[in-house]
Chains A and B, each alone.
Chain A
Amino acid sequence: MFPKGTKRKFTDGEEAAPGEAPGPTARALSSAYSLQRQSLLDMSLIKLQLCHMLVEPNLCRSVLIANTVRQIQEEMTQDGTWHIMTQALSQCPSDRLVASEVLCRQDPAMLSPKPVPSALERSLQEEGYQEEVVMEEDGPAAPGPPLDGAAYLGPFSSSWDEEEEAEEEEDSEESVSEPEEEPRTEQVFGTFEIKQPPADPALEELFSDVDPSYYDLDTVLMQSPKMGPYDLLESLSHSPALGSTNSCRSDLNELDHIMEIIVGS
């Protein structure tokens, strides 16, 4: 899946001696490296999402994955590619498969035609994982919180604090909403997409090596919204290998179509 034996090198620009490997900026332009880095980021975010679908996430594992995401995000911010990526995400909303967003939001009224950065911003405001679904209203979400690493991980981090949040009074009202819904429908990282090849050819190249087995994840997730967490894991382990990407993509196209209808674009 990933080139074997490849190590990601991280050298600090200031510490690089003259004549050594090029600094971070030059290296970031190396598309192989940034592809790998992007793949790692995708993988990590999926893992974090999956964490939340398990019965009780392993805190150590979650922290380590979150720290990895932070590291990648910091490096991408340094390189300037983070900005490019988030801009790209805002440019083509209709092509985008917001797979997890569709899954996570059971209430279609919640889906809005807002461009993705504000959807990201909205997710930043939202409550973390609780056993009941927390549906944050659009109202309190203010546009414009910075998409820095800590904020990006904000709702996820707050989800670790499950029991204490449940005890706090101000959170109790929000957690009461829709208790009968499935526990997996939380908002964390809900808007981080798994992209179809975007219209922009430059971005297409950037994402062309995203492992299609992630589409399998989506297929599995889409098939049965009422699956419990263990069912989900089981179907993942039985999920078809890379060969079935065609069926996945047609499913994704269908989903895209549905999204367009809902979004009303």
Chain B
Amino acid sequence: MAEAGEKSSEMEWCFSQVKGAIDDEVAEADLISAVEFNYTGELLATGDKGGRIVIFQQNPENKSQPQCHAEYNVYSTFQSHEPEFDYLKSLEIEEKINKIRWLPKKNAAHFLLSTNDKTIKLWKISERNKRPEGYNLRNGPYKDFTSIASLQVPVFKPMDLMVEASPRRVFANAHKYHINSISVNSDNETYLSADDLRINLWHLEITGQSFNIVDIKPANMEDLTEVITAAEFHPNQCHTLVYGSSKGIIRLCDMRAAALCDKHAKIFEEPEDRNSRSFFSEIISSISDVKFSHSGRYMMTRDYLSVKIWDINMGTRPIETFQVNEYLRSNLCSLYDNDCIFDKFECCWSGNDRVVMTGSYNNFFRMFDRGFRRDVTLEASRENCKPQSVLKPCKVSIGLEISIDSVDCNKKILHTAWHPLDNIIAVATTNNLFIFQDKLK
């Protein structure tokens, strides 16, 4: 609820920047597949279908100026994953980056985990802005040491900033199915990786083995009816993790209870609304993303048509439900036909957990203010690209039946991210990254 003394002003979002190619011809490899701010918000990483990662850095000179504090420039670009060929199964392993997760900063370098369908990599991104000069024997033509009359101590001289990304660990061969999630534990030593049927626990230092902590593979694969779709560690409790399934069920596991957490400690499932039951009910209930709030008290889940906020102490029903695009409900058959019903939208919390955001079709993205019970629909398009121009909320008529022809399923916003400390958001359309900031800040 709104706190006493707080301004009841709405956030107004201004366009700040857009990254990516302008032309309509979208190269397949440029499709953005992951967006993630680091813990301070200073760095913003994006992954694409071609296996590349581009890291943007907030311009430090302008951080104090409110108008331009959302200026991000390219910091580093590197090829994280390459396409591989599994000779045993004669299958190609896509290099598409499925998820990026930053590690909390421990020293001068930045670390992030990136994953494709099968392999997770730990990358170290470090800066080099000085180099030693003045060696006695090196630097220049080899000197005959007998000709040296005096010795000098090499000194560091400034050089142009060089940002290097190097793979420090490769965590491979632990997943038979496609990895859909990675999550760093609050203990800063371990992380989980989840595929369709299993969740593994890794130590960041050890690449040779991982522990399997959840396994929902049935003894007989013919009995398979449910898969894992998303998983995350609790932000504060290092023994707690949650995972969502294709049946719309979220399970919370406590690693203290047993080595194998097949038996959940808590289950979150909303009873089905019999009135709106259809053949598509299960598909649209499939959890596409699960995110804990920064406080750890709440959990947000995204399914095809809605965003639900759960109190982790209550599993019977969500405490809040926001309809993202209810107008799609009458078009589910067409969306099933063109496969868009299987699109996996992500969601994110604002830094203070008061607002949640998620994407939709037609390059719309939606924000739901939990405190003021308001929601807004905005569009990320190059037409609204004047610097500092305020985004006008889009009016989407609810109640009127919207025909499937007006839903542009090729313009979808699957990935969004919110700066952890500030009102700056990154919204990824197919191949462009939009950065918006709150005008009032």
Contact = CB atoms under 8 A, between A and B. Distances in A.
Interface of A: 1-2, 4-12, 15, 36-37, 40, 43, 47, 55-56, 58-61, 63-64, 66-68, 71-72, 131, 150, 153-154, 157-158, 160-164, 166, 183
Nearest to B337: A43
Q: Which of A36, A72, A131 has the most CB of B within 10 A?
A: A131
A9 B275 CA distance: 8
A60 B286 contact: yes
28 contacts: A4-B330, A4-B334, A5-B331, A7-B332, A8-B278, A9-B277, A10-B279, A36-B333, A40-B336, A59-B177, A59-B196, A59-B227, A60-B196, A60-B286, A63-B225, A63-B226, A64-B246, A67-B282, A68-B283, A71-B279, A131-B89, A150-B222, A150-B223, A154-B222, A157-B223, A160-B221, A163-B176, A166-B89
B91 interface: yes
Nearest to B197: A59
B315 to A, nearest CB: 23
Nearest to A54: B91
Contacts, number: 107
Main SS class of interface, A: helix
Contacts of B314: none
B90 interface: yes
A8 B334 CA distance: 13
Interface residues of B, number: 42
Given A64-B246, A64-B286, A5 B401 contact: yes
A4 B224 contact: no
Interface string B396-416: 000001011000000000000
Given A1-B337, A4-B404, A64 B330 contact: no
Contacts of A43: 336-337
Given A4-B330, A55-B91, A64-B286, 6 more contacts: A10-B278, A37-B279, A40-B333, A58-B342, A68-B280, A150-B223
Interface string B317-338: 0000000000001111110110
Given A158-B222, A160-B221, A4 B331 contact: yes
Nearest to A230: B92
B358 interface: no
Contacts of B330: 4-5, 7
B178 interface: yes
- Which 8 A-B pairs have CB atoms at the shortest separation, nearest pair first? A157-B222, A161-B221, A131-B90, A5-B330, A59-B196, A8-B278, A10-B277, A2-B333
B178 A58 contact: yes
